[in-house]
């Protein structure tokens, strides 16, 4: 094998690169990490990504030298070759274009897919935001308009809340880490009901920290529910996707975080009047129920009046019956008494008749045969009794019928 000179090797390489369909006409995307301009008008710069660097040159007359700013994401169109004097691989550019938006979009999509697959955006994970917070943690810059907007909104809507500001830069290289730290710190303070992570509108680069993984992880790990209010209406950040509630702006975030005091007072008044209303309606119902019950009770009572009238009638009738009977009896008795008086023995005796009785047994002697000779008798006359003795034989006499009757 013949030995080759260094130049021959470099030449060979450049030939190979020149034939290579990719390397001979390439578009490289990367971040400008170093850029210098020579007096002759050439621009030398380094392109980098996470794992590598590529020396590059844009010679005088090339287009897009103004995009070669430190940190800028650019598309570089050109070819790859080896520069002999240094022996280094070089990207010879003829056109440089800013890549910013496209790159960021690609990174955003990549981050979104990654975190989504891990479940950081799951709807089931979203926690309810406390309706009436007492203490809220605010993650933003103390110099930002967002902080002013939040304070004003809270003061206007619900001024009985304490705001704890966790100040952090919200743009630049260190912002993402510091935002994440602020969220963690607020969680360590304790007693915070809601966290708002906020930043006003800006360029996609400005808002980029809110798309960083470290911020997403901090929001995900937060024990306190997080509301995000980053950028404007149309800006969706990774932070928005992870947070429990997304608001379009910092002001909107504050509005979602606290209730409206006036509205609440109105609600309380409404509740109070509703309670009055319902309660008096209930009392009316009770009153009607009572009325109904009384009526029902009334109807259920026996008809005392009718019974009483009937009873009175019965008593009257009974009374009059009894009285009538009494009168009749009295009348009858009176008649009897008169009769008896007429028939009484002493009345007869008083008229001159007398009554004979056997002394032995008091038997009335009304016939001859009732008494023998020599027997003791008593003779009752009008003013006393005469003791006597019979003599002689008894003889029957004809006694008139009427006298016999009178002796009975």
Partner 1 sequence: MSTMSENELGALSFEEIMDELEKSVSDLENGKLPLSKASEVYEKGMKLAEEASKRLSDTEIKITDIKKAFEEKIEISSQSENDLDI
Residue 35 or 165: the one with the smaller Cβ distance to partner 1 is 165
223 part of the interface to partner 1, by CB under 8 A: no
- Per-residue tokens: 282: 């209930």
Tell me the closest approach of the beta carbon of residue 139 to partner 1, in angstroms.
Answer: 9
Task: Candidates 20-28, 60-68, 125-133, 294-302: pick the segment binding partner 1 (CB under 8 A).
Answer: 125-133
The nearer residue to partner 1, 203 or 272, going by C-beta atoms, is 272
Q: Return the number of the residue (26 or 165) whose C-beta is nearest partner 1.
A: 165
Stretch in the footprint of partner 1 (CB under 8 A) among 24-32, 64-72, 238-246, 280-288: 280-288
Of the residues 4, 285, 311, 336, which one makes contact with partner 1 according to CB under 8 A = 285
Q: What is the rounded CA–CA span in Å between residue 339 and residue 337?
A: 5
**Neighbouring C-alpha atoms within 13 Å toward the C-beta of 147:** 16
Instruction: Name residues contacting partner 1, limited to 131-190 (CB under 8 A).
Output: 131-132, 134, 137, 142, 151, 154-155, 159-167, 182, 185-186, 188-190
Q: Which residues pair with 385 in a beta bridge?
A: 380
Verify binding: residue 294, partner 1, rule CB under 8 A: no
Quick one: 115 or 226, whose CB is closer to partner 1? 226
Nearer to partner 1, 162 or 313 (CB): 162
Q: How far is the CB of 62 from partner 1 (least distance, A)?
A: 50
Least distance in angstroms from the C-beta of 279 to partner 1: 4
User: According to CB under 8 A, which one of 130, 201, 202, 345 is a site residue for partner 1?
Assistant: 130
**Does residue 129 belong to the site contacting partner 1 (CB under 8 A)?**
no
Binding residue (CB under 8 A) for partner 1 from 278, 307, 308, 389 = 278
Distances (CA, A) of 359 to 374, 376, 391, 404: 12, 5, 15, 21
For partner 1, what does the binding mask look like between residues 60 and 99, x meaning CB under 8 A? ----------------------------------------
Q: How far, CA to CA in Å, does 379 sit from each of 229, 358, 382, 384, 406?
A: 153, 9, 10, 8, 17
Give the residue with the Cβ less far from partner 1, 4 or 283.
Answer: 283
Residue 271, judged by CB atoms within 10 A of its CB (0-12, 13-18, 19+), counts as: exposed
What part of residues 244-273 is at the interface with partner 1 (CB under 8 A)?
Answer: 261, 264-265, 268, 271-272
- Residue closer to partner 1 (CB basis): 110 or 289: 289
Q: How far is it, in rounded angstroms, from Cα 178 to Cα 171?
A: 10
Binding site for partner 1 (CB under 8 A): 130-132, 134, 137, 142, 151, 154-155, 159-167, 182, 185-186, 188-190, 261, 264-265, 268, 271-272, 274-275, 278-279, 281-283, 285-286
């Amino acid at each position: 094998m013949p030995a080759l000179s260094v130049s021959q090797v470099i030449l060979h390489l450049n030939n190979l690169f020149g034939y290579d369909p990719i390397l001979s006409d390439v578009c490289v995307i990367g971040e400008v990490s170093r850029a210098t301009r020579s007096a002759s008008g050439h621009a030398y710069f380094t392109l980098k990504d996470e794992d590598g660097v590529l020396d590059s040159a844009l010679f005088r007359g090339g287009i897009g030298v103004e995009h070669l700013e430190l940190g800028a994401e650019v598309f570089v169109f050109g070819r790859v070759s080896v520069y002999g004097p240094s022996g280094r691989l070089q990207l010879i550019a003829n056109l440089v274009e800013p890549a910013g938006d496209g790159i960021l979009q690609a990174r955003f999509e990549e981050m979104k897919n990654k975190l989504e697959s891990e479940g950081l955006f799951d709807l089931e994970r979203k926690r309810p935001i406390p309706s009436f917070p007492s203490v809220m943690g605010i993650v933003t810059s103390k110099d930002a308009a967002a902080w002013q907007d939040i304070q004003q909104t809270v003061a206007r809507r619900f001024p009985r809340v304490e705001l704890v500001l966790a100040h952090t830069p919200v743009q630049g290289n260190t912002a993402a880490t510091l935002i994440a730290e602020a969220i963690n710190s607020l969680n360590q303070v304790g007693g915070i009901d809601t966290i708002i992570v906020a930043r006003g509108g800006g360029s996609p680069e400005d808002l980029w920290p809110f798309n960083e993984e470290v911020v997403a992880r901090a929001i995900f790990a937060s024990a306190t529910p997080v509301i995000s209010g980053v950028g404007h209406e149309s800006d969706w950040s990774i932070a928005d996707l992870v947070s429990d509630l997304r608001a379009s702006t910092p002001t909107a975030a504050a509005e979602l975080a606290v209730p409206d005091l006036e509205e609440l007072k109105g609600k309380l008044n409404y509740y109070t009047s509703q309670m009055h209303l319902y309660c008096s309606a209930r009392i009316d119902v009770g009153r009607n129920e009572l009325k109904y019950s009384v009526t029902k009770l009334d109807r259920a009572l026996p008809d005392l009046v009718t019974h009483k009238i009937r009873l009175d009638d019965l008593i009257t009738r009974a009374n009059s019956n009894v009285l009538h009977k009494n009168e009749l009896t009295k009348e009858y008795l009176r008649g009897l008494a008169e009769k008896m008086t007429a028939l009484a023995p002493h009345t007869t005796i008083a008229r001159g008749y007398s009554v004979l009785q056997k002394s032995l047994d008091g038997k009335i002697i009304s016939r001859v045969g009732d008494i023998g000779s020599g027997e003791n008798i008593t003779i009752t006359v009008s003013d006393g009794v005469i003791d006597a003795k019979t003599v002689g034989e008894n003889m029957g006499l004809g006694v008139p019928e009427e006298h016999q009757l009178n002796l009975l």
